[in-house]
Copies of this chain bind each other. A is one copy, B any other.
Amino acid sequence: MLVQKYKDMLSGKSVIRQLSEFASARGRQIGYENVFDYSLGNPSVPVPRDFTDGMIELLSTRESGELHGYSPSLGIDSVREAVAASLEKRFGLPYRKEHIFMASGAAGALAHAFRLVAQAGEEILTFAPFFPEYHPYVDLTGAVLKVVPADTESFQINFEGLEEMLTEKTAAVLINTPNNPSGVVYSADTLEGLARLLRERSQQYGHDIYLISDEPYREIVFEGVEAPFVSAFYENTIMCYSFSKSLSLPGERIGYVAVNPYCRDGKDMAAMCGQISRGIGHNCPPSIIQLAVARVLEQTADLGVYETNMKLLYRELTGLGFTCVKPGGTFYIFPKALEEDAKIFCQKALEYDLVLVPGDTFGAPGYFRMAYCIDTEKVERSLGALRRFVKEQYG
């Protein structure tokens, strides 16, 4: 018989996906340029030229078996070495090849990190607002995702809530900074406080509580904002990285797990990821993409457009009276809706061809997310629609 739980999931359609489908349908009606689609976090800028040139060079010069053959199960050695060396150079921790496990994007990296440290019956804590896919990612491992309510003042960590929810059952705490959907970057104070609390409770409970740091937006940080390196604050950190956003290639499924070199058992953990892979059919990211990415580890796509867009939106939104924490990075902004039910608010916005996502999806009702990874020219044109929407509905 078919396994019922997956059949049941078919009816629970993602709100983001539905909105994005609405935007496409509306685009076919009135022209795509007239739909202000802020629903999807799909990078809008091209991959770096060197990535494309590197791929073509690999295809033109490398012997087929060497280029397209099986990757070792933890990733290609030279690629793991290059990632470790780059992390050490940039962030100062003594990463080596054995701390790096190449993974198919952040989804692949997180699937391994969760299984490394959490079993059925144990808990992983995260903080609202949060990326909604964390729920199936964790829940289908048998562990349970628990969500600490948001600190809506700052979207930093709500420590009171965290202290209450940390228990002996807590296997790991999962953070995402710079954050989807709030755009907020956790401060050094936040990370110090978190590390202190996790050390205390690890001692109290007699087992390590791991910090899983989901960092796909690490390279998208705006001027004047300092983004502290999470792993430097807490030894038992498992970093999950993806090149999807920094290099604009979310379809190519490439990222890694980097275990803090000071982590207890740190030398075994990447190797354990290789064993986890056997149970979930992972078996490495594509070889050619591993090799091509290793050549542009310290490059990014031209990410400046996201900051330009953020400034335009932040100025307009605050000018219109929205309560809004200024994003420090990512390509998201997360203002408070102008009425209590953000779902109704976002529904009304659709009449102005503004596609916004209600915060309920991210565990923060009453807010909404705009993903501004779109052309600046379109952001500019959307401002008129935004003004009309606010004036006519809430003026």
**Chain B residues within an 8 Å CB radius of A207:** 1
Residues of chain B within 8 A (CB-CB) of A278 are 9, 133, 136-137, 140
* Shortest Cβ distance from A373 into B: residue: B65
In the assembled complex, A60 has its CB within 8 A of some CB on chain B: yes
CA distance A282 to B103 in the complex (A): 10
Closest 10 A-B residue pairs measured CB to CB?
A111-B281, A140-B279, A251-B287, A46-B64, A136-B278, A68-B249, A280-B280, A9-B275, A107-B283, A6-B272
Among B47, B139, B208, B268, the residue within 8 A (CB) of A7 is: B268
Binds B, one of A26-34, A116-124, A338-346, A380-388: A116-124
Distance in angstroms from A69 CB to nearest chain B CB is 5
CA distance A44 to B269 in the complex (A): 32
List the B side residues contacting A1 at CB < 8 Å: 117, 171, 207-208
Q: Cβ of A272 and Cβ of B2 under 8 Å apart?
A: yes
Q: How far is the CB of A255 from chain B (nearest CB, A)?
A: 10
Q: Which residues of chain A from 219 to 253 have a CB within 8 Å of any chain B CB?
A: 248-253
Q: Judging by beta carbons under 8 Å apart, are B3 and A252 in contact?
A: no
List residues of chain B with CB within 8 A of the CB of A15: none
Does the CB pair B64–A284 fall under 8 Å? no
Is A287 in contact with B252, judged by CB distance below 8 angstroms? yes
**Contact across chains for B280 and A281 when beta carbons are under 8 A apart:** yes
Q: Give CA–CA (A284, B251) in the complex, Å.
A: 8
Query: Any chain B CB within 8 A of the CB of A108?
Result: yes
* 16 A-B pairs whose Cβ atoms sit less than 8 Å apart in the complex: A1-B207, A2-B272, A3-B115, A3-B272, A6-B275, A65-B248, A68-B249, A68-B250, A70-B250, A103-B281, A107-B283, A109-B281, A111-B280, A137-B278, A139-B279, A253-B286
Query: Which chain B positions have C-beta within 8 A of A117?
Result: 1-3
Give chain B nearest CB distance to A57 CB in angstroms: 10
Given A1-B207, A71-B251, A283-B108, verify A7-B140 contact (CB < 8 Å). Answer: no
**C-alpha gap A50/B225 in the complex (Å):** 48
The chain B residue with its CB closest to the CB of A272 is B6
- Once the chains bind, are A253 and B2 in contact (CB under 8 Å)? no
| Mask of A370-385 contacts with B, CB within 8 angstroms, 1/0 | 0000000000000000
Determine whether the beta carbon of A288 is less than 8 Å from that of B136.
Answer: no
Residue of B whose beta carbon sits closest to that of A209: B1
Q: Flag A104-134 by CB within 8 Å of B: 1 or 0 each.
A: 1101111110011111000000000000010
Given the known A-B contacts A3-B115, A105-B283, are A44 and B65 also in contact in the complex, defined by CB atoms under 8 Å? yes
Task: List, in ascending order, chain B residues with CB within 8 A of A67's CB.
Answer: 251
A328, CB-defined interface residue at 8 Å: no
A6 touches which of B116, B252, B283 (Cβ 8 Å) = B116
CB-CB < 8 A to A103: which residues of B?
281
Contacts of A52-66 to chain B: CB distance below 8 A: 52, 55-56, 59-60, 63-65
User: Is A42 located at the chain interface by the 8 A CB criterion?
Assistant: yes
